[in-house]
Structure 1
Amino acid sequence: MKLLKQGKYVLLALSIIACSKDEDVAGSGSATITNLTFTSVAVDDTGKVVGVTPTSTGGTNTVYTIDFGDPEAVGDSDVKQTSGPQVSYEYPGKTATYDITVTADADDADPVSVTNQHTVTFEAGVSLADFEDEAILNLRDDRDNDGLTIEVETKDGKDGNPSKVGVVNNKGDQYEAFIVNRAKHIDVTSKSIITMDFYQETAEEIPVLMKLGGASIDGGFDIEVQTTTEATSGWQTLTFDFSKNATNSYPNQEVSTITLDQFQSLIVFIGFAVETTGTFYVDNITGGGLGIDVPDTDSDGVIDSIDKCVTVPGNTENNGCPDVSEPTDAPAAPTVLAANVISLFSDAYTDVDVTTWRTDWSMGVYKEKTVAGNPVKIYTTLDYVGVETVGDNLVDATEMTHVHIDIWSANATGFQLKIVDFGADKAYAGGDDTEGLKLIEGFAQGQWVSFDFPLSDFVGLTNKNNVAQFVLNGFPSGQVDVVIDNFYFYK
């Protein structure tokens, strides 16, 4: 193969000379290329990506052809051209010595070549996430807020072979992300380049931001690097160089000092600051190093930063808390006439439109489930959660006298319901909001309990014609699981 490449260079030189005789332009020999040399250096942390920078004197419009001399290359994939700036090539992942040939060609000079050897000293990058062992990644996404999700599935990887990858479904929010939470810190103090294989179905440029969060040093800032995908479909490799391109993350962007430290989490935004929808694959997040252990007080494999029950062993499916107890039966069916009801959630009535059953400022995990053929809503590790009927979904409860809710919990000792009316301006914090709350304590655990509260008990809720928000609290805060059903106003 290399003989064929050398033959191409000879033919190129001969064609240039022939053209010069006919047209007195290229390769006329009126100038001579001299002092041709080049540098070759590793440009990544593994050593296998090598950058070549050629220089010479003499000649007009000099173009350099670099043969990286890889005997395993397919065709001429290891041959690059440049007018001077550095070009790079990725060698196989092994230690080996290669002959690199640079040929300089100019409009008014004959081609000149020089060959030097470069030794690749390969050091495999640390695998931060190859998705083969999902459990160690402690993946988190935005599914609890109806946002981005990531699932581990088997797809054709970058090498064309079946492999487990992260399948990311973007929902269109400008700042949605998935998070990798390893049991050890990600160390970028000495090796600061992280790469990620990325698959997109459409040939477009998409901004992708990688953020490292939870610095191990006191007062350390999160840092981030943004890059852009190539406008090609299929697999490509994205590079995030924290030693050269990092900035401090919000709200510390204006701080010029960047500290390369050890970090607890790796966060990836696909379509950063742009409303991007679609399905993407990610794989082989590699680079940096693994540092000190991330604290895990109860040794349950869920690190403290994402553990909702830090001192009580649990499981990853329940954010580090013990298994959730759930009812096996449905609550009693409501008997209030439908004409006298405004239902937020009940199988017995037609529900009004609810904007969200979990606002983005909520503290608790939300999921839906069917129990004994009856749909219910479940909040686990509940501290507080916001339910909203905003915009066109505002509820006019002026004629209603009561609010009803069925709850079931195996571990809650208290439950609180707050109702908020946004007032005539129909906007939060517009100066005319009113609200009231009701606290319940001492109810039976492990069975359905029905509550009917007069709206007059919600002291402070003076308006009820623009009801927009319901806040549910569980006690002890952040340690309880609550199931709700049949949530409605009535008269």
Structure 2
Amino acid sequence: MEIGRKTQIINLIITKMNIFKNITALMIILMIAVSCETDEDLKYSLDYLSAPSNISVNFDITQDNSGLVTIIPNADGVVNYLIAFGDTIDETPTAYKVGDEINHVYEEGTYSVGITAVGINGQNATLTEELIVSFIAPENLVITIENDIAVSKQVNISANADYAIEIEYYFGELTEDVPVTADPDETVSHVYANPGDYEITVIAKSGAIKTLDSTFTFTVTEIIGPATAAPAPPNRLESDVISVFSDAFTNLTGTDFNPNWGQSTIVTTETIGGSSTLKYANLNYQGTQFASAIDASAMEFLHVDVWTDDATTVNFYCISTGPAEKAYSFAITAGEWVSYEIPLTHFDNVNLADIIQFKVDGTAGSSVYFDNIYFYRETPTSPTTAAPTPPARDTDKVISVFSDAYTSLTATDFNPNWGQSTVVTFDEIAASDTIMKYANLNYQGTQFASAIDASSFGYLHVDMWTYDATSVNISCISTGPAEKAYALPITSGEWVSYDIPLTKFSSVVDLADIIQFKFDGTAGATIFLDNIYFY
């Protein structure tokens, strides 16, 4: 019995060992298969890699008449370099890894140095660069320096000299000035923290010990632009505006503000006082191309805000197909925003239904800022017609607060002193039709001589007209006070009749004890009211 049990255990162990061997063998086969597949994928991927690109080289020549040159190559996608120093006939290039220091001693002369960048798959690209090794000190130093025409307090400088191989620039801004090194004729830019006079030093170097330098004073200038945004345009109906560039309105899409017309003007968009602003620097002329022709024939004016501190003339053109164009000359006030309202009748030779471009020209080299460029027609600021006439109703079916159509409550105070800034007046819009005007709205109350019992009525009617309010609320107030507001949906520039279910107030307000109304809304707006009654 014991022998049989041992035999079973031995067989089980052998079986498990065989299973383990099979699994191990299978894993090895899979690893080989995966390895082969990975190698194939790698080979396939490497075949499609491109040769190294953006090859460049810098030469650093020791200034001790020794001719020792450090060669510093650079390239994208490179794993090693082959360097042909150019001073040996039938030269075999020397291989270097990326990051190796490459030094070579030259005699005086001019050499063609070959830099071959080799990629991981063996593909390569070659650059040949001329190297002049001279133990003659640089001569005839020529320096070109200017303030940048678009970037404030930026200086652009370049220099060259006979026999020079590199130029060092000290910009004189820091006590321990660190030089910027560049090739001859290479432009170097430096932005100063503050405008003013600075001592700038330029040193031309060759392979000789002796250098050639120049130190001079240069005045760094600040480009001064507007400190505040252009004036905010008045509220206008969208139907009364065609906006080209303004944060106040919805602009046309697809407008090209910098088409290539061969101009020298530099166009940028800057945020000034939270408002996007167009800047034209180094102005000679500048175009604006619309995605499709603008039909401004129904508009009356072109509005433009302009700021400049150095232009003395600025002309603005509308252009229609042809081309047909006409300029409007802005009267310039330097150093402040000026708003121009240009009558479209001025552009009498331009097809106003087919405006395809704008153009600006003016004082050469000046900087001009623009904002709020749009066509518009005058939006009425008050109604020109009466509110809709209310329907005839039995007297017991109406409680009129303010209406010429019904007999209104007496002794109502339409302007109680609640500390409001709103100005209340009454205008006659038509014969025997008076309307109530709230100007400079913040809030405004109406006080009834005695409480109104509107518990048996279903609606409160109000007619309202506004051109500039974007929100208006009317509140019913009962003793307590208990009040609840109803927001009136706004449609600008026309009379809107509101029939408000009294259930909008009844959850809070005692409809049998209404003692006051209150209006509030867009600060500073103007609204006109008529036909306020329960029914």
- Whether TM-score is above 0.5 comes out as no
Higher RCO (C-alpha under 8 Å, 6+ residues apart): 1
TM-score by length of 1: 0.37
Greater C-alpha Rg: 2
